[in-house]
Amino acid sequence: MLVRHMDRNTDEKRREEKRREEQSDVVDELLLLLAVLGFGVMNAGNCVVEQSGGDVEVWSALSLDQARPNFFVAVHVGAGYHAPSNSHLYCKAMRRACLAAANVLSKGQGRSLDAVAAAIRVLEDDEVTNAGIGSNLTEDGHVECDASVMDGCTGAFGAVGAALGVKNPIEVATSLAKESLKGRSRLGLIPPIMLAGDGVRKWAEKRGITAAGSASEAETWLITKLAYERWKRYKNMLLKDNGDVGPSTQMSLSDADTQPMKLLANDDQPKVENLHHRTSNSLSSDLMRLAEDRVMDTVGAVCIDLAGNIAAGVSSGGISMKVKGRIGVAAMYGSGCWVTLEDSNGLPTGCSVSGAGENLIKCLAARECCIAASRSQSGPGTACEDMLCHLGQVSGQDVCDDAGLLLVQLNNTSSSEKLKVIEVVAAYTARSFGVGYFGSLMENPKATILRRPFDSKIVEISQFAAHFGHC
């Protein structure tokens, strides 16, 4: 009876902690929303926050539909399999990313390029995603990130590959894109549009972007407990597959908390003595069940600003146990993200992709999908389906089973500086695909995990589409 009583008290305590965390998340999102609507945190007195019966409600002193600049934001957290028990964590991250981008765009002069960077920065900082903090580890236990961004107004592009020592790879990619617009130096040097390895950290240091003194120092913030546990499990699987370990010495995931990694030489282990374990403080205990998740790759965003300019971006920690130095789709020109330029033939379109990088790279997936969608007479959804079918052919399958495409298309702009019609398409063949969106006519961001039927044994293309516009 005593044991049962203790278990019951523990369960009640955990439920109370979870309820408080969820309330805190709601308040944080509401403060961001107030900033988007023109109420800075300093003006939070313009609203009333009331808590009763476990619910948090907010009333603003001004109407939510007050006039503000037009914008649109769409984000994704990758294609793969997102465990249902963690859906709320992914959705929370996407809503916050949408609000961060909207906060940039709602200022009127905010550019879509900066909004994309703001949205992806939030996703990189959330350890639930495979980007920035919490990224998958390489086979030798390190973090190497990829990211890129493209501006449809200028055609500027910036990317980082196998980046070491930076907290937010998307910031360096955005910096490279902006620097490229300056043209040649007085000595005739052309600014780089892509950097790799430790060169990314050195570039960031010189330009005041958050970076560590060394790549190994950065891993104390970037490697989370969950990523480390996953790495140990996969490393053991590889050793066993290679015949280097027997059943009597194999370590299970449940043993990982109490046993050192005896199977590996010291040089093969991540530096975990001072890992930035934020799990117990910043996320609910549900995060520890993320071992159920199988998210293939990239997070991304596509944004439209007041002037109708589109920008797109992606960021990724890459696939688990990847080879050191491997550069994935998130860094490759034309593959991870793309925007059709304003003067091109067709409708302005932006695309951000996720999935098995090598196949997406060979197809120039983002570029080809954007171009086809911008010129399609049957709509962007058809173009997305065609690209997914083509990916299947490249991978030797009827349909590629691990890809997702997020596409945003703008139909018609006018001199009145109002967005007319926006179409959003999320097409995917993976088990699930997490997407979110927010527009100037919406009261709150929307986020969801799209899923194929769990019992479906046939790989098929699933699609979500929505239209937004002004009267």
What is the domain partition of the chain in residue ranges? 2-60, 72-128+148-155+293-469
Per-residue pLDDT of the chain (471 residues; tens, 9 = 90+): 333 333 444 455 555 555 555 555 554 555 555 444 443 333 332 332 222 233 332 322 222 334 456 899 999 999 988 988 899 999 999 999 999 999 999 887 789 999 999 999 999 999 999 999 999 999 999 999 999 999 999 999 999 999 999 999 999 999 999 999 999 988 889 999 999 999 999 999 999 898 887 777 888 889 999 889 889 988 888 887 776 544 433 333 333 333 333 333 344 455 444 444 444 444 444 344 444 556 556 899 999 999 889 999 999 999 888 999 999 999 999 999 999 976 667 889 999 999 877 889 999 999 999 999 998 888 899 999 999 988 877 766 655 668 999 999 998 654 445 557 899 999 999 889 999 999 998 999 999 999 987 666 667 889 999 988 743
pLDDT of residue 460: 83
Q: Which is the catalytic residue, given 129, 298, 349, 429?
A: 298
Tell me the pairing of strands 157-163 and 194-196: parallel
Kindly give, in sequence order, each residue whose CB lies less than 8 Å from that of residue 68, ignoring residues fewer than 6 positions away.
36, 37, 38, 106, 440
Do 383 and 391 touch, CB atoms closer than 8 A? no
What whole-number distance in Å separates Cα of residue 93 and Cα of residue 137? Answer: 21
Q: In what order do the strands lie in the sheet with 419-428?
A: 337-339, 349-355, 403-413, 419-428, 462-469
**Global pTM value:** 0.78
**For the range 261-267, what are the long-range contacts, defined as Cβ-Cβ under 8 Å and sequence gap of 24 or more?**
261/232, 261/235, 263/235, 263/236, 263/239, 264/235
pLDDT of residue 456: 62
The domain made up of 72-128+148-155+293-469 has a fold known as Glutamine Phosphoribosylpyrophosphate, subunit 1, domain 1 (3.60.20)
- Tokens coding 401: 């089973």
Tell me the pairing of strands 446-451 and 432-439: antiparallel
Q: 339: exposed, middle or buried (C-beta count within 10 Å: 0-12, 13-18, 19+)?
A: buried
Beta bridge partners, 57, equal: 50
Active site residue 298: yes
Phi and psi (nearest 5°) for 178? Answer: -70, -40
pLDDT of residue 245: 45
